[in-house]
Amino acid sequence: MTAPDASDSPYQRALGERLAQLHPKTAWYFRTIPPGQVGRGTGVFTRAGSPHRWLRPVFLLAERWGVAFAGREYDVPFRIENRTRNGRTVSVRHFELPGRTWTMTDSVSLLPGRVLRTEIGPGRTAVCTFDIDARDGAVVLTVRRVGLRFGRLRVAVPSALGIRLGLVERWDVERERHHVNMTIDAPLLGRVYEYTGFFEYAIESETP
């Protein structure tokens, strides 16, 4: 296998030889997107948001920061754009919620030890680190740490709270679609937030 380049996708560099363990469609999704091109996906989240109405004030703040939207919706159309820039994967997701479009951006980089760092929101308010693995042809991300950033102030979410955040992305052979499942769970509360659904994806030129 060719040695990874610092400008390659952080997912590709983190997986290394494990990239060969993924389904070819999933491996293709996480590879480097060449300069001048963009990965565009369209699909539907069958479930998205938080099932706990009493947490709505918290998610209203998260929505303002561009981290998570407030509410619970089903069959939500969405669009995603992925780019590889200077060794980072930069993604923009548009959720077509009832009466409005909510946008979430994130930037993923690679840390030593094949650990991924994700910064979410236009102000990069939420910062998470993840371990990445290949299981049964799918990419599995498991959170290590979660933190919030407000200007120069850094706030780490205590690990003692037991918050579990993970993402599984795989190729669904029957539907011939990519499937993504992102979940946040907490002790006693169970599922706190999620989005799960199917989408089609293509890598295209930035300009027609």
171 neighbors 23 (Cβ within 8 angstroms):
yes
Predicted confidence band of residue 188 (pLDDT cuts 50, 70, 90): confident
pLDDT digits (tens, 9 = 90+) for 7-47: 899 999 999 999 999 999 999 999 999 999 999 999 999 99
Predicted pLDDT at 160: 62
| Residue 152 predicted with pLDDT over 90 | no
What residue segments make up the domains of the chain, in order of their start? 10-191
Torsions phi, psi for 50 (to 5 deg): -110, 135
Q: How far apart are CA 111 and CA 167, in angstroms?
A: 18
Bridge partners of 193, per DSSP, are 184
pLDDT digits (tens, 9 = 90+) for 36-94: 999 999 999 999 999 999 999 999 999 999 999 999 999 999 999 999 999 999 999 99
Q: How far apart are CA 185 and CA 167, in angstroms?
A: 12
198 neighbors 175 (Cβ within 8 angstroms):
yes
Predicted pLDDT at 9: 96
Q: How far apart are CA 206 and CA 124, in angstroms?
A: 24
| Residue 2 predicted with pLDDT over 60 | no
pTM of the model: 0.92
Q: How far apart are CA 170 and CA 186, in angstroms?
A: 24
| Residue 3 predicted with pLDDT over 70 | no
- Give the β-pairing of 164-172 and 138-150: antiparallel
Structure tokens at 18: 């494990």
Percent of the chain with pLDDT over 90: 85
